[in-house]
């Protein structure tokens, strides 16, 4: 990883008695796209607003490009920010909105015109310069907001749930567009979202936040496949949790229902025989019926079948445990039937012990 | 008649789909709003129109501009002038004070109860006009009013000695502010609410100072509603008579009081001059209204 | 943060002083009737005055009829425009705003000239007729407020869907308006009604020029001839206005909330 550009060191934020951000540490490299992912109230927006300068940290410091900005006002930090509700100035045209940052900085008219033109072409809204915000769709407004934030060439781009107010279709296309522009301009970006799909698809790294703390920091691949806590595993993706009793710590053997299963070594973390563990298993790691290459199978009964189009989600009861799994829809074979006895198989390597 | 038509369920069901109800049923549609239009014509538009026409006629019913020309006599001009001054002063001062209070309660970081108390009180005070308002200010700033007396006994300041008089331009303006300021608060607070917090934050991240943000965004956004409300306040004060009449009797020569005296006793000795006087009032408030509509549409051009 | 809050408090305090000092002064003045001590004598005199009782009762009755006229005029019109004729909406809104622009004194002047005893519609020939004309005049004055209140009320309910649902069940127009629409905008109508009452109860210009024994001219008359009673009457009037506005506020809490505007 290249040099650190944004550094958040031991930041804490309390409003009166409630602490909303607890000891937050993060190093972001130049040009990196980092998402803060978490449920509402987890402190992700407060953390972002401290980077922007709207909130003052109770403790800790924030450095941008090696400079301590903790006590700087927002308008001295040279950052670009995009808000959930667009926040375009209604009395200014698209061009005037984009040129706002340059104008307040005292740039020349020619300079502003050139830059606005360039930004309009980047967001593919050439010819919309003279419109007013209310004449644009939500997606267009958000692209203008992005251009406005980027026009003064900020050091850091902050995106506060910029897609949540948009329709599903627009959301996905804008997601790709934002990522493409970010890569093209190579700008360090913090993206706040509660939507795991957005975070997984756009980010270089994700910070999963819960209750004011960073639960896990990692690439989308790591976060999804190797969640380090129960919260992360539950919040990111759909997850099955099975109860397993430790049989023999030495061989990492646990018992699920009536079957002894050997886990990958080093996962038990000092659990003793008789301890009950939560074992996570992604739906896509399970198949219906017996299959070669998967060492474990359990018997159960189908309790629910939902047809989702290309896939069929099946819920299988396994004694006191239950799992969901996905099978591909195939016109040739009839879908599973509720009440049917069945068997599921998976690879014991995919079982993940949650702490 | 109209009621009978509408209460017939069969007819109602026939006209169910609004799309189909279009062209053919047009006359029937209009029956629904006919009472309103008849009322408006009979009791609002025709009476006004009658006076306007009368203003341009002589006793023989011939067209003339003589009545309008007679408005230019010094005593009538003076009445219009003081009316315009009082209305304008109370509208502008009321609007500025109302705006300041509105910004303070919406943006000033004051506790919630301050806002709700202010809004409730404004609703009351904006409707507390007319005769009782005059009584209140006489009891406050009249020669024996509480404030007048306290200023004299506590601070040895005799405001009447300093040229103040409740029965004057200043006194009337001060009194009108009692309903003008709250009216401004009631009307402008939604507009201040419409200023999104994110605009200020966006401007800050773009490097703008508070002053730049106000100059480039807040003032341009508020300007149409502000000016529109000033004009409404102007019309509000311009037509008011009860407060002034109860406060000053007929000693303060403002247009509504002059017109009142003319209606009661033809003090101008020319009925058609009375019409012209009324026409002048409508003309001035109407002119103000044209501006109001113009600014409203401008305001709406930005805000959806 | 700190300095802005200071200025906000200062602005609020100055405003509060401007508005409360006259109210306090008026109240204090109204207690001074008996020499050397505070008493409610002025109020006793006012409430005991037959003319007070008569004029107040007269104005209350006029206000009630005014409200009825206003409701009958505004509710069907606003409803019909929402349902069928949205295209003439700007025209109707403009007309309802006219009374804010045309001063009351001009309107009543027009009435006196148009509806005198020698005219084809001699409202002013009889006392009853004059009363009716006064109610009509008041309904005109209250039109902007009544229309706004009802129209806002109608906006929060989906007029078209409600109407069509009622029609599917075979309801006629009278049933629809009386049983479906009115209850749903009742809060809005009541708000308009109380506002109308607040405006009408002490109105001076129209009542005085039509020579009717209303509360407004009575107030003016007392003001010209008495010292302490006017202050007491001002306090009473303020209390009445306050009462009307409080009722409106309480009513607003029961109003149906619109889906797109939850606040």
Q: Which of A203, A219, A235 is the last residue of a domain?
A: A235
Pick the CATH number of C47-254 from 1.10.3720.10, 1.20.1250.20, 3.30.56.10, 3.60.20.10: 1.10.3720.10
CB-CB contact of B47 with C111 (8 Å): yes
> Which chains contact A through at least 3 pairs of Cβ atoms less than 8 Å apart?
B
Segment B272-288, tens digit of pLDDT: 888 999 999 999 988 88
- What is the pLDDT confidence band of residue C199, given thresholds at 50, 70 and 90? confident
Does residue A325 share a domain with residue A209?
A: no
pLDDT of residue A237: 77
Say yes or no: B145 contacts chain C, CB-CB below 8 A.
yes
Give Cβ neighbours of residue A18 (< 8 Å, ≥ 6 apart).
none
Q: Is A272 exposed, middle or buried (0-12, 13-18, 19+ CB in 10 A)?
A: exposed
More confident residue, B58 or A5: A5
Region A161-170 average pLDDT: 88
* Res. B22: pLDDT tops 60: no
Closest-CA residue of chain A to B220? A91
* Res. B12: pLDDT tops 50: no
Cβ under 8 Å to B: A residues 44-83: 52-54, 73-81, 83
pLDDT of residue B3: 38
Does residue A77 share a domain with residue A175?
A: yes
Q: Which of B202, B217, B304 sits opposite A81 (nearest CB)?
A: B202
Which residues from C are below 8 Å from B246, CB to CB?
204, 219-220, 223-224
Q: List helix spans (H) across chain C.
A: 2-30, 41-48, 50-83, 89-101, 104-114, 127-156, 159-168, 173-175, 182-201, 205-209, 215-225, 229-254
Closest-CA residue of chain C to B272? C113
Q: Which of A235, A262, A296 is the last residue of a domain?
A: A235
* Res. B9: pLDDT tops 60: no
Q: How far is CA A185 from CA A33, A138, A151, A188, B121, in A?
A: 12, 23, 11, 9, 54
Does residue A217 share a domain with residue A69?
A: yes
- What is the pLDDT confidence band of residue C100, given thresholds at 50, 70 and 90? confident
Region A82-102 average pLDDT: 92
* Res. B19: pLDDT tops 60: no
Which residues from B are below 8 Å from A78, CB to CB?
207
pLDDT of residue B111: 87
Compute the distance between CA of residue C235 and CA of residue B181 in angstroms, rounded to an integer.
20
Share of chain A above pLDDT 90, in %: 47
Q: Give the minimum alpha-carbon distance from B71 to chain A in angstroms, rounded to a whole number.
A: 43
Averaged confidence pLDDT in chain C:
86
Region B216-220 average pLDDT: 90
Cβ under 8 Å to C: B residues 269-288: 274, 278, 281-282, 285-286, 288
* Res. A165: pLDDT tops 90: no
Region A259-269 average pLDDT: 77
Closest-CA residue of chain B to C123? B43
- What is the pLDDT confidence band of residue B298, given thresholds at 50, 70 and 90? low
Compute the distance between CA of residue A105 and CA of residue B215 in angstroms, rounded to an integer.
14
Low-confidence winner among A108-112, A170-174, B180-184 (lowest mean pLDDT): A170-174
Interface test with C, best of B43, B210, B258 (most C CBs within 10 A): B43
pLDDT of residue B4: 38
Supply C24's token pair. Answer: 């306090």
Would you call B201 and A100 a contact, using CB atoms and an 8 Å cutoff? no
Q: 3-class secondary structure for C149-205? A: HHHHHHHHCCHHHHHHHHHHCCCCHHHHHHHHHHHHHHHHHHHHHHHHHHHHHCCCH
* Res. C151: pLDDT tops 90: no
- What is the pLDDT confidence band of residue A118, given thresholds at 50, 70 and 90? very high
Let me know how long chain B is: 304
Does residue A103 share a domain with residue A220?
A: yes
Bridge-based pairing state of the strands A253-256 and A296-307: unpaired
Give Cβ neighbours of residue B214 (< 8 Å, ≥ 6 apart).
none
pLDDT of residue B294: 74
Closest-CA residue of chain B to C210? B264
* Res. C4: pLDDT tops 80: no
pLDDT of residue B299: 62
Q: Which of A54, A90, A148 sits opposite B221 (nearest CB)?
A: A90
- What is the pLDDT confidence band of residue C83, given thresholds at 50, 70 and 90? confident
- What is the pLDDT confidence band of residue B5, given thresholds at 50, 70 and 90? very low
Would you call A75 and B204 a contact, using CB atoms and an 8 Å cutoff? yes
**What is the b/e burial string over C18-44, where b = at least 16 CB atoms within 10 angstroms of the residue's CB?**
ebebbbebbbebbbbbeeeeeeebbbe
- C vs A contact (3+ beta-carbon pairs below 8 A): no
pLDDT of residue B303: 55
- What is the pLDDT confidence band of residue C140, given thresholds at 50, 70 and 90? very high
CATH code for the domain in which residue A244 is found: 2.40.50.100
Domain that holds residue A215: 4-235
pLDDT of residue B16: 42
- What is the pLDDT confidence band of residue A192, given thresholds at 50, 70 and 90? very high
Q: How many domains does chain A have?
A: 2
pLDDT of residue B8: 40
Would you call C19 and B100 a contact, using CB atoms and an 8 Å cutoff? no
Segment C164-186, tens digit of pLDDT: 888 888 877 778 777 777 777 88
Q: What is the secondary structure of A344-355 as a DSSP string?
A: EEE-GGG-EEE-
Q: Give the minimum alpha-carbon distance from B205 to chain A in angstroms, rounded to a whole number.
A: 5
* Res. A340: pLDDT tops 60: yes
Would you call B202 and A83 a contact, using CB atoms and an 8 Å cutoff? yes
Cβ under 8 Å to B: C residues 31-70: none
Tell me which H or E stretch contains B224.
helix B219-238
Would you call A83 and B217 a contact, using CB atoms and an 8 Å cutoff? no
Would you call B29 and C85 a contact, using CB atoms and an 8 Å cutoff? yes
Say yes or no: C107 contacts chain B, CB-CB below 8 A.
yes
Low-confidence winner among A96-105, A215-224, A264-273, C18-27 (lowest mean pLDDT): A264-273
* Res. B2: pLDDT tops 50: no
Share of chain C above pLDDT 90, in %: 30
Partner residues linked to A301 by β-bridges:
A317, A341
Query: Which of A228-242, A249-263, C54-68 is the most confident on average?
Result: C54-68
- What is the pLDDT confidence band of residue C257, given thresholds at 50, 70 and 90? low
Q: Give the minimum alpha-carbon distance from B91 to chain A in angstroms, rounded to a whole number.
A: 25
Partner residues linked to A61 by β-bridges:
A9
Region C155-161 average pLDDT: 79
pLDDT of residue B13: 40
Does residue A82 share a domain with residue A24?
A: yes
Does residue A258 share a domain with residue A214?
A: no
Q: What is the pTM of this model?
A: 0.78
Does residue A188 share a domain with residue A76?
A: yes
Which residues from A are below 8 Å from B212, CB to CB?
104
* Res. C1: pLDDT tops 50: no
* Res. B21: pLDDT tops 50: no
Q: What is the secondary structure of B230-249 as a DSSP string?
A: HHHHHHHHHT--HHHHHHHT
CB-CB contact of C123 with C115 (8 Å): yes
pLDDT of residue B295: 67
Region A28-54 average pLDDT: 92
Domains of chain B in sequence order? 2-55 (no CATH), 73-302 (1.10.3720.10)
Q: Which of A235, A256, A273 is the last residue of a domain?
A: A235
Would you call B127 and C1 a contact, using CB atoms and an 8 Å cutoff? no
* Res. C261: pLDDT tops 70: no
Q: Give the minimum alpha-carbon distance from B119 to chain A in angstroms, rounded to a whole number.
A: 27
Q: Which of B202, B220, B301 sits opposite A87 (nearest CB)?
A: B202
* Res. B20: pLDDT tops 60: no
Supply A187's token pair. Answer: 């700008």
Say yes or no: C241 contacts chain B, CB-CB below 8 A.
yes
DSSP state at residue C257: P
């Amino acid at each position: 990883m290249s040099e650190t550009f944004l550094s958040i060191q031991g930041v804490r934020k309390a409003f009166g008695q409630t602490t909303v951000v607890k000891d937050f540490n993060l190093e972001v490299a130049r040009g990196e796209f980092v998402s803060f992912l978490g449920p509402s109230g987890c402190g992700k927006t407060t953390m972002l607003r401290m980077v922007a300068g709207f909130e003052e940290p109770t403790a800790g410091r924030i450095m941008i490009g090696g400079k301590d900005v903790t006590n700087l006002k927002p308008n001295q930090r040279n950052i670009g920010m995009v808000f959930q509700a667009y926040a375009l100035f209604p009395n200014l045209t698209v061009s005037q909105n984009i040129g706002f940052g340059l104008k307040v900085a005292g740039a020349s008219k020619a300079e502003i015109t050139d830059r606005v033109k360039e930004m309009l072409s980047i967001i593919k809204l050439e010819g919309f310069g003279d419109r007013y915000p209310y004449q644009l769709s939500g997606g267009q407004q958000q692209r203008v907001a992005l251009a406005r934030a980027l026009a003064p060439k900020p050091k850091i781009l902050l995106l506060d749930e910029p897609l949540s107010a948009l329709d599903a279709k627009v959301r996905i296309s804008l997601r790709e567009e934002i990522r493409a522009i970010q890569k093209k301009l190579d700008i360090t970006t913090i993206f706040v979202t509660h939507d795991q799909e957005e975070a997984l698809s756009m980010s270089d790294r994700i910070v999963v936040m819960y209750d004011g703390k960073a639960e896990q920091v990692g690439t989308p691949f790591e976060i999804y496949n190797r969640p380090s806590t129960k919260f992360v595993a539950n919040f990111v993706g759909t997850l099955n949790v099975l109860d397993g009793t430790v049989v023999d710590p030495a061989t990492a053997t646990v018992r699920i229902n009536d079957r002894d299963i050997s886990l990958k070594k080093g996962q038990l973390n000092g659990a003793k025989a008789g301890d009950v563990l939560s074992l996570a298993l992604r739906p896509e790691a399970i198949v219906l019926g017996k299959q070669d290459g998967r060492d474990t199978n359990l018997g159960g009964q189908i309790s629910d079948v939902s047809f989702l189009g290309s896939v069929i989600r099946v819920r299988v009861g396994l004694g006191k445990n239950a799992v969901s799994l996905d099978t591909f829809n195939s016109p040739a074979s009839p879908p599973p039937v509720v009440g049917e006895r069945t068997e599921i198989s998976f690879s014991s390597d995919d079982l993940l012990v949650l702490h | 008649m109209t009621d009978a038509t509408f209460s017939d369920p069969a007819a109602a069901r026939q006209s169910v789909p609004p799309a189909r109800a279009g062209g053919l049923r047009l006359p029937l549609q209009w029956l629904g709003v006919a009472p309103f239009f008849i009322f408006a014509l009979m009791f609002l538009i025709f009476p006004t129109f009658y006076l306007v026409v009368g203003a341009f006629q002589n006793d023989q019913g011939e067209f003339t501009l003589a009545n309008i020309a007679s408005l230019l006599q010094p005593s009538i001009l003076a009445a219009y002038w003081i009316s315009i001054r009082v209305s304008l002063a109370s509208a502008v001062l009321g609007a500025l004070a109302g705006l300041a209070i509105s910004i303070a309660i919406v943006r000033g970081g004051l506790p919630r109860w301050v806002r709700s108390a202010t809004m409730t009180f404004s609703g009351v005070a904006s409707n507390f006009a007319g005769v009782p308002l005059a009584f209140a200010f006489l009891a406050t700033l009249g020669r024996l009013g509480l404030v007048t007396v306290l200023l004299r006994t506590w601070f040895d300041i005799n405001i009447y000695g300093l040229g103040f008089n409740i029965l004057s331009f200043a006194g009337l303006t001060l009194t009108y502010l009692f309903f003008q300021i709250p009216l401004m608060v009631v009307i402008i607070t939604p507009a201040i609410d419409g200023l999104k917090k994110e605009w200020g934050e966006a401007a800050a991240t773009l490097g703008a100072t508070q002053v730049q943000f106000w100059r480039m965004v807040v003032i341009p956004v508020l300007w149409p509603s502000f000016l529109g409300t000033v004009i409404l306040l102007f019309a509000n004060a311009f037509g008011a008579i009860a407060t002034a009449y109860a406060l000053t009797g007929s000693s303060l020569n403002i247009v509504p009081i002059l017109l009142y005296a003319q209606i009661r006793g033809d003090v101008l000795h020319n009925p058609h001059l009375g019409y012209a006087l009324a026409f002048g009032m409508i003309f001035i408030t109407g002119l103000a209204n044209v501006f109001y509509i113009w600014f409203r549409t401008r305001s709406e051009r930005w805000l959806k | 943060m700190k300095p802005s809050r200071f200025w906000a408090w200062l602005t609020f305090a100055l405003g509060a002083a401007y508005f409360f000092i006259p109210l306090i002064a008026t109240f204090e003045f109204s207690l001074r009737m008996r020499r050397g001590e505070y008493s409610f004598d002025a109020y006793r005199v006012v409430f005991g005055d037959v003319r007070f009782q008569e004029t107040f009762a007269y104005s209350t009755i006029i206000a009630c009829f005014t409200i009825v006229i206003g409701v009958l005029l505004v509710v069907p019109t606003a409803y019909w425009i929402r349902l069928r004729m949205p295209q003439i909406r700007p025209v109707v809104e403009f007309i309802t705003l006219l009374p804010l622009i045309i001063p009351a004194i001009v309107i009543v002047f027009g009435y006196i000239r148009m509806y005198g005893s020698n005219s084809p519609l001699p409202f002013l020939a009889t006392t009853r007729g004059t009363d009716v004309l006064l109610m009509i005049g008041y309904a005109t004055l209250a039109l902007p407020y009544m229309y706004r209140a009802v129209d806002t009320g109608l906006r929060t309910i989906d007029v078209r869907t409600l109407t069509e649902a009622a029609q599917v069940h075979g309801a006629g127009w009278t049933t629809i308006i009386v049983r479906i629409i009115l209850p749903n905008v009742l809060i809005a109508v009541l708000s308009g009604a109380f506002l109308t009452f607040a405006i009408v109860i002490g109105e001076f210009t129209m009542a005085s020029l039509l020579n009717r024994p209303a509360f407004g001219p009575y107030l003016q008359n007392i003001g010209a001839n008495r010292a302490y009673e006017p202050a007491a009457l001002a306090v009473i009037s303020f209390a009445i206005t306050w009462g009307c506005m409080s009722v409106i506020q309480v009513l607003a809490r029961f109003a149906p909330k619109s889906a797109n505007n939850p606040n």
